[in-house]
Chains A and B, each alone.
Chain A
Amino acid sequence: MRPRLEARIGVSGAMVYVTPVLAVVLTMACGSVLFAALGHNPAAVLYAFFVQPISSAYGLAELTIKATPLVLCAIGLSFGFRANIWNIGAEGQLTLGAIAGGGLALWAGDDASVWFLPAMIIASLLGGAAWAAIPAYLKTRFNANEILTSLMLTYVAILLLSYLVHGPWKDPDGYSFPQSRMFADSVLLPLLTMGTRLHLGAPIALLLALAAWWVMARMFVGFQIKVVGLTPAAAGLAGFSVRRLTWITLLTGGALSGLAGLFEVAGPIGQLLPSISPGYGFTAIIVAFLGRLHPLGILLAGLLIALSYLGGETVQIELGLPLAVSGVFQGMLLFFLLASDVLVRYRIRWGRSVIVQEAG
C-alpha cells in the first residue's frame, strides 16, 4: 500500500499547533543520531544543548537577551512573508540600524545626555527602514527580485560596518583593534535586573509582538497583507495596492531589524564591532516560520531558537563541538517543520481511498 496525499478541504486546525512540536521532537531525534555518529553521547549533548543553558536565572536572562533580536527581526519578516514579499536581508537591515543608532551614540561622546537613547532608537528604525527601502524601490519600480537584492545588500552592509570600524570610527585608544569606542553608559539600554544582562529591549520586543498581533488580527492593513499573500488577483480586485503593501512590509521589517541591531550594540555589546550579530537576521527566517508567521508563535519560536544559540555555546565549552552545531540544529528544525507542514494542508491516505456513499 503506497501512501499518497489527499488535499484537505480546509487546513487542519489541530495540525497547525501539532507540527511545530513534531518538528522539534524529530530534530532532537535526528540530532541524537548525528552526535552518536560523531562519537558523542547523545544524551549528554542534548542535555548540554537544551537543558543546561537555562538551568539558572542568569541563563534565562541570556535566553531572553538572545531571543530579543530574533523576535524583532522575525516579526518584521513575517509581515513580508505573509504578503509574499521575501525580504531575506534582515541581517543587513540590522547592521544598518546598529550603524545609524551606534553612530549617533559615538557622535554624542562620553558625556551624552540620556535623551540620546530615544534618538538612537529612532535613528536605528530609520537606518534599517532606509536599507529595506532599496529593495522596496527596486521591486516596485523595476520589478527586481527582492530575495536577491535584499541579500546582496546584506553583504554590502556588513562591509560598510567593517569599513567604519576599521577606518573613521576606529577607537584611537583601541590598540588598532577594529572596534569603535565604548558607548557612554548614559546611552546604553537600562538593565532590568541586577546580576544579569537583561535590558529594556526585551519588554519592548514583547510589546511590539503584541502590537503586531493586533495589526494582523484586527487592522484592515493586516487583512490586506494576508489577501495579497494568499491571492494577489483578489487583492487587485479589491483595490489593495500591492505596491503600497510591498513598501509597508519591507519598511516595517527593515525598521524592526534596525531596532534589533541597536538593541545589540546599545545592550550586551556596548560598542560597534566588525561582527555584531551571529546571523540573527538569517536565523529570524527560521523563527518566523517556526512561529507560523504569527506574532505570538514567533515569541515562543524566538525563545527556542535562542536556546539553540546558547546550547551551541555550551556544547562548544563543555564538549568541544563547533559553534556550527547551532546552525545544523536550526536548519534541521526548519526542514522538519516544512516537511511536517504537509499534514496541515493534506491528509495522508494509505492505499485506496474508501468510497463514501453520498446523496446526489
Chain B
Amino acid sequence: METLTAVLITVIGAATPLVFAATGELVAEKSGVLNLGVEGMMLLGAVAAFAVALTTGSATLGILAGAAAGAALALVFALLTLTLLANQVASGLALTIFGIGVSALIGRSFVGVPLQRLPQLDLPGISDLPILGPLLFSHDALVYLSILAIPATIWFLERSRAGLILRAIGENHQAAHALGHAVIKVRYLAVMFGGAMAGLGGAYLSLAYTPMWAENMTAGRGWIALALVVFATWRPGRLLLGAYLFGGITVAQLHIQGFGFDIPSQFLSMLPYLATIAVLVAISADGARARLNAPASLGRIFYPEA
C-alpha cells in the first residue's frame, strides 16, 4: 500500500507540469491562437525560476520569475503573430528553438548546482492521515495551484463574461470584431496567460520535480501538453484527466524497470511519446467529435476586413 501511495505521489509530480502548460495552451487556443512554442516557454520558465530561486533564496520569487519569463516569451510570439501577422506555426517553432538556446545560455552556470526542493505545505492533522494524508494533503503549493487552475479555468470560460468574449473571438474573430470586441487585445492576454502557465510548468520542473537545471530538461513535455489539449477536445476537465494519465505512463515506465522486467530502458522511455501518438490517433479518428469543440478560428490570422 505504501508503495502504491508513493507511486501515486510521483504520478502527481509528473502530471503537474503538464497540467500547467496544457491549461495555459487551452486558454490561448480557445481564443483562436495556436502557440507551438510551449516547449520553449517551459524551458525559459524553468531556468528563470531556478536562477531566481537560487540567487535570492526565495522559492516564491522563483515561481513568479518562471511565470514572468514564460509570459515574456509569449509576448514575443504575440507580437509576431498578432501585430505583425506572421504564420503561427512557424512562429511557434521559432519560439521553441529560441527558448532552447536562450535557456541553455542563461543556465550554463547553473548546471549541476543543487537547490532545496520546493517545501510541502503540510496541513496539520490532515496530512498525517494514512494514505490520504500523503496522497492528497502534503504537496507543494504549485501542485495545489495546478489543481485549482482547472475549476478556475472552467468557471472563467463557461461562466464569466470575459470568458464568453474569449470563446467568441476564438469561434469567429470577424464577427467578434464587428460587434466591437477587442480581438487583438484579448488574444494578447490569452497568449501571455498561456506563456505564464507554461513558465509555471517549467518552474515546477526545476524547483520541485527535479530541483536542478539541465539543458532541455523538459524533454518534450511542452509538445505533450499540446497533444493533451487535442486529447481533451478543449475541455479543462478532460485535460486534467489526460495529464494524470500521462503522468501515470511516465511513472509506470520508471517502475517497470524497478520490477525487474528485462526491457531495455530506451524502449520504456519511448512509452510517453508512443502513448501521445496513440491518443492523438484515437481522438482525431472521430473527426466530427474532435472538431465540435475546437475553436473555429484556431491558427487563422486576424486582419480586420475592409
Contact A282 B105 (CB under 8 A): no
Name the one of B87, B93, B95, B274 contacting A156, with C-beta atoms under 8 angstroms: B274
Q: Is there an interface contact between A342 and B85, defined as CB atoms closer than 8 Å?
A: yes
Chain A residues closer than 8 Å to B264, beta-carbon distance: 163, 166-167
- A159-B270 in contact (CB<8A): yes
- A206 contacts partner chain B, Cβ-Cβ < 8 Å: no
Instruction: Identify whether the interface residues of B are mostly helix, strand, loop, or mixed.
Output: helix
Beyond A282-B97, A338-B91, whether A152 also contacts B274 by CB under 8 A is yes
Please measure, in the bound complex, the distance between the C-alpha atom of A325 and the C-alpha atom of B101, giving whole angstroms.
Answer: 6
A144 to B76, CA, bound (A): 29
Are A334 and B85 in touch, CB under 8 angstroms? no
Residues B230-250 near A (CB distance < 8 A): 230
- Measured between C-beta atoms, what is the minimum distance from A235 to chain B in Å? 18
Q: Interface range on chain B: under 10, 10 to 19, 20 to 34, or 35 or more? A: 35 or more
CB distance from B234 to the nearest CB of A (A): 14
* Contacts across chains A and B counted by CB atoms under 8 Å: 141
**Nearest-Cβ distance from residue B262 to partner chain A, whole angstroms:** 12
Q: How far is the CB of B219 from chain A (nearest CB, A)?
A: 8
* Contact in complex: B99, A331 (CB < 8 Å): yes
A326 and B85 within 8 A (CB): no
Cβ contact within 8 Å between B273 and A156: yes
Q: Pick the most buried of B87, B95, B104: most chain A CB atoms within 10 A of its CB.
A: B104
Q: Is B284's CB within 8 Å of the partner chain A? A: yes
- Does B97 lie within 8 Å of A283, measured CB to CB? yes
Chain A nearest CB, measured from B197 CB (Å)? 19
Q: List 23 A-B contacts (CB under 8 A).
A: A143-B285, A144-B277, A144-B284, A145-B230, A148-B226, A149-B280, A152-B220, A152-B273, A159-B267, A160-B270, A166-B264, A166-B266, A167-B264, A322-B108, A323-B104, A324-B101, A324-B102, A327-B98, A330-B101, A331-B97, A338-B84, A341-B84, A345-B85
- A148-B226, A149-B281 known; 20 new pairs, CB 8 Å cut-off, are A142-B285, A144-B281, A145-B284, A149-B280, A151-B220, A152-B276, A155-B219, A156-B273, A282-B97, A283-B97, A289-B90, A324-B103, A324-B104, A331-B100, A331-B102, A335-B98, A338-B80, A338-B84, A338-B86, A342-B85
